[in-house]
Amino acid sequence: MFFKYLLSILLAHNLLLSCASAAVHGQHGHSVDTLERDSDGSFRARDYEHYGDSGHNSEFDHEAILGSVREAEEFDKLSPDESKRRLGQLLPKMDLNGDGQIDRQELKQWILKSFINLSREEAQERLLEADDDRDGAVTWSEYLHDSFGVDSEDDVGPDDTGDSGMLLQEEKSMWATADANSDGKLEVDEFEVFTNPEEHEQMHQYLINQTLREKDTNKDGKIDFNEYVGDRGAQQDKGWLISEKDKFDNDLDLNKDGVIDVTEIHAWIIPNNEEIAEEEVDHLFASADDDHDDILTFEEILNHHDVFVGSEATDYGSDLMGDHFDDEL
């Protein structure tokens, strides 16, 4: 769904504006963290930058295999031989049934585990930023300081939102839910739930409620097209509106009743990691299954180590032609 949406935006831009405008990244009147959220308020999918304005981004492939941004950066500095050698060490771990080949299910399971590892790595980094006293856990007051830039709740206005776009009271409820052992602070596992709420079921209702609070101006529990556009439309041109309408009708309003209900809000704002992992499997198979037998031998994977993990010799420039779009459709 995401790729089709992206493609429709790109096509709309090429046809209507004949330029790669940054309109989709506009942040008009928006309170949400532009690093983690899209301009319409949805959470950015893990593969947000996989196919961007500048073409295919192989960093995403490498992170999906290595499960770590830090390690992916490390691989970019390895010689091709060393990169192959280290990829070779991962393959037996990926090969769950031990038959010396990687099938689609095995690769998908691996990628889903990588996503979990990536979330944990992100949470560890964010925890280091917020954990002023370095005790390995974030207290509510440390979080207030880090996210709202204040020392006391009294300094937060009723409409002020933190990094996540949530009001203080919303954040506080989410904090309590994430604090599984109710000790008032979040250790890394709990902090991971709090900072990546879109990846945890128990947090989804908060995100849906926040979306309704921001967009459902007539408070009927559903979002119509005008509400969906909201004040984002003010400085946009007709091409933008057409592509948003197309997205609303074809990608978001699944049951075609003209509004987005709670189920559809869920599908819209919460990225589907299963789907993303399957798309990544398709992409990697299209890149590496040279004999088209729908299974990857270790040799095929190692021959395409640049796609899977990269090395200092990976030529990122060659990806910028956008030819990988074919893989997905």
Ligand X SMILES: *[C@@H]1O[C@H](CO)[C@@H](O)[C@H](O)[C@H]1NC(C)=O
Q: Which helix (H) or strand (E) holds 263?
A: helix 262-269
CB of 93 to ligand X, least distance (A): 6
Residue 212: strand pairing partners: none
CA angle (77, 82, 84) in 5-degree steps: 110
Query: Of all residues in this chain, which one has the CB nearest to ligand X in the complex?
Result: 67
CB of 209 to ligand X, least distance (A): 4
**Residue 110: how many CB atoms within 10 A of its CB?**
21
Interface with ligand X (CB under 6 A): 67, 93, 110, 113-114, 117, 173, 205-206, 209
Contact 38, 252 (CB under 8 A): no
Residue 259 or 309 having the CB closest to ligand X:
309
Residue 24 or 203 having the CB closest to ligand X:
203
CB of 267 to ligand X, least distance (A): 17
What is the Cα–Cα distance from 180 to 322, expressed in whole angstroms? 44
CB of 250 to ligand X, least distance (A): 28
Residue 34 or 117 having the CB closest to ligand X:
117
CB of 109 to ligand X, least distance (A): 9
Q: Which residue has the tokens 């030819």?
A: 323
Residue 173 or 236 having the CB closest to ligand X:
173
CB of 200 to ligand X, least distance (A): 12
Exposed (0-12), middle (13-18) or buried (19+): which is 276, by Cβ within 10 Å? buried
Residue 113 or 145 having the CB closest to ligand X:
113
What is the Cα–Cα distance from 216 to 218, expressed in whole angstroms? 6
What is the Cα–Cα distance from 132 to 111, expressed in whole angstroms? 33
Residue 93 or 292 having the CB closest to ligand X:
93
Q: What is the dihedral of CA 308, 51, 267, 123, to 10 degrees?
A: 60
Residue 39 or 209 having the CB closest to ligand X:
209
CB of 110 to ligand X, least distance (A): 5
Backbone phi, psi, residue 129, to 5°: -70, -40
Q: How far is residue 235 CA from its own chain's centroid?
A: 26
